[in-house]
Structure 1
């Protein structure tokens, strides 16, 4: 099979022929029809993000494809099924605290690296091997729809945050980092789940205006000043009532003060879910006041990715019409233009813009 290979951090991807994946028990081979190229892929491949990734590797977190082969333990999947290849691979021998690796992207610690060495290669290839439980059926689609269904990979991240928060229909929520790719997706998902209002702060006025245009009065935007106390008060004033939940999706480049401004806008007895990258590049810690957390009974939860059943549930939201993949503008590249796709993704890092590789 043909694949795009990262051989060293800081070097371009190389298109080469690799052996086809060899099927084992508990595994599925998928023909990859389309896969996202994340806007920060260049930062991962350069080594700037310091992701744990054992090289050489075929990168690519997840994808859309058709099942080619199933192992003897597959009870439902059959060749020909359209699936989302969930990159969140969990170890099977410690259910309470599994090791996790993002297939073709990053491991969480040494245990995740051990797991990565088996489920090594990602979706920048014509075929990939995934754990049986990570091939999530999405129902029948046309081949020309595969690229748009790659949006599941972006939508799933904030969806995992809202599930962790226990978002209820009718609540008022805030997305910190709403003008980013995952943050804007978080706005769309919250509305699809029934949020009455989403407060969407950010610095980019054009993107804030676009969110208002897309989603109407259920989204209340706030242009940030960079002054923590002022911004917090503006977020509170933008909400029609108390803010029940805050989802933080700020990138590693954001200062801790920006995250804190949004987090502390939540009401007493409110919930906060942290999913962003604040602090990954060093700098001051979050430094939330102990008395505020304790006396206001604030629940703060860290959430990396999403639970195993999230992809199936999210696909059902799409099928129901509550969540539209039509929000995403897709630009496609063939596999042999993988480096051009990485550059395009970085240059077009804006909400609802998706760069897609089509390996097969």
Structure 2
């Protein structure tokens, strides 16, 4: 098979021939029809984000595929099925605190590193080996436009955070980082889940206007000034009532103060979910006041990625039309243009901008 390989950090990806993967028990081999290229991929491949990838490695975060081979323990999956391949792989020998690796992308701790050594390669390839439990059937529409459906890798992340925070229909949510790629997804997913209104703070006024135009009055944009007191008051006012939940999806480059001002806009007995990258590259700590958390009975929750069931939930939202992929701007690239795709993703990281790698030439129509 042909695959894009990271030979060393700081070097362009190299497209070359590699042996076809073979499935063992509890595994599936899929033909990769499309995979999403994250906007920060260049930072990972350049070594800036210091991800624990071990070159040479085929990178890639999940994807839409067609099953080629299933193992003997699969009872419902069949060769030819169009499926979503979730990159979040969990160890099978500890149900309470499983080790986790993001196949072809990252890992957590020594246990996650061991998983990554076994499931080393990701989706920037014609074929990929995936654990059976990480494969989810998709509706027929996904096979017609897999590059668009590859956005599942984006939408499942905030969906996992909203599940962790227990977002209920009719509630008011504040999305910290709403104008970014993941934050704007959180806005869309929350509304699809029935949020009554979504407060969307940000500095990018064009992105705020895009969110307001797409979703209407249920989205309440808040242009940020950088003054914590002023911004917190504006967020609270925009909620037109108590803010039930805050989800943070800010990138590593954002200061801790930006998270803090959003978190402290939540109501008494409210919930705060942290999913962003603030502090990963050093810098200011979050420093939420202990008395404020305790006296206001605030629930503070960290969430990395999402539970397996989140994949099923997002697929249902997409299949029903509650979460609409049609307005998203999708730019597909063939495998030979993988480095162009990485560069394009880096320069198109705004709301609902998607960059897709299409390793198989017959993977459906090019989408925009």
User: Which residue of 2 is the match for residue 106 of structure 1?
Assistant: 106
Match of 2:366 in 1: none
> Which residue matches 2:169?
169
Pairing 1:314–2:310 present: no
Asked whether the equivalents of residues 35 and 356 of structure 1 are also in contact (C-alpha less than 8 Å), the reply is yes
In the alignment, which residue of structure 1 is the partner of 2:363? none
TM-score normalized by the length of structure 2: 0.97
Structure 1 equivalent of residue 256 of structure 2: 256
* 1:184-333 aligned within 5 A: 184-333=184-333
Q: Quick check: 2:121–2:128 contact (8 Å CA) kept in 1? A: yes
Q: What is the Cα-based RMSD across aligned positions, in Å?
A: 0.8
1:85 aligns to 2:80 (yes or no): no
2:156 counterpart residue number: 156
Task: Give the drift of 1:38.
Answer: 0.7
CA shift, 1:142, in A, is: 5.7
Scaled by the length of structure 1, the TM-score of the pair is: 0.99
**2:174 and 2:247 in contact (8 A); partners too:** yes
Mean CA deviation greater in 108-117 or 186-195: 108-117
Distance 1:106 1:143 in 2: 28
> Aligned partners of 1:144, 1:226: CA distance in 2, in Å?
45
Q: Superposed, which structure 2 residues align to 1:91-130 within 5 Å? A: 91-130=91-130
Whole-Å separation in 2 of the counterparts to 1:302 and 1:182: 16
Which consecutive unaligned segments of at least 5 residues does structure 1 have?
A: none
Deviation at 1:9, TM superposition (A): 0.4
Q: Offset of 1:347 from its aligned partner?
A: 1.2
In 1, distance between residues paired with 2:112 and 2:50? 15
Specify the alignment match of 2:53 in structure 1: 53
User: Within 2, Cα distance between the matches of 1:222 and 1:94?
Assistant: 43
Give the length in aligned residue pairs: 360
Distance 1:227 1:23, change over 3 A: same
Name the structure 2 match of 1:343.
343
Moved more, 26-35 or 143-152: 143-152
Contact 2:82/2:143, CA 8 A, preserved across alignment: no
| Structure 2: gaps spanning 5 or more residues | 361-368
* Residues 114-166 of structure 1: CA deviation (Å, up to 9, x unaligned): 10011110000000000000011112236441111011111111000000011
Question: Where does structure 1 differ by over 4 angstroms across 4 or more consecutive aligned residues?
Answer: none
Give the Å deviation of 1:327: 2.5
CA distance in 2, matches of 1:274, 1:139: 32
What does residue 75 of structure 1 align with?
A: 75
CA contact under 8 A between 2:142 and 2:149: conserved in structure 1? no
Alpha-carbon distance in structure 2 between the residues aligned to 1:329 and 1:75: 37
Q: Residue 365 of structure 2 aligns with which residue?
A: none
Residue number in structure 2 paired with 1:138: 138
Q: Which region of structure 1 is more displaced relative to structure 2, 38-47 or 323-332?
A: 323-332
Moved more, 225-234 or 136-145: 136-145
Q: What displacement does 1:70 show?
A: 0.3
Contact 1:187 1:198 in 2 (8 A): yes
- Work out the CA distance in 1 between the residues paired with 2:96 and 2:68: 32
Deviations 1:207-238 (CA, angstroms, capped at 9, x unpaired): 00000000000000000011112111110011
In 1, distance between residues paired with 2:61 and 2:155? 13
- 8 A Cα contact 1:138 1:312, kept in partner: no
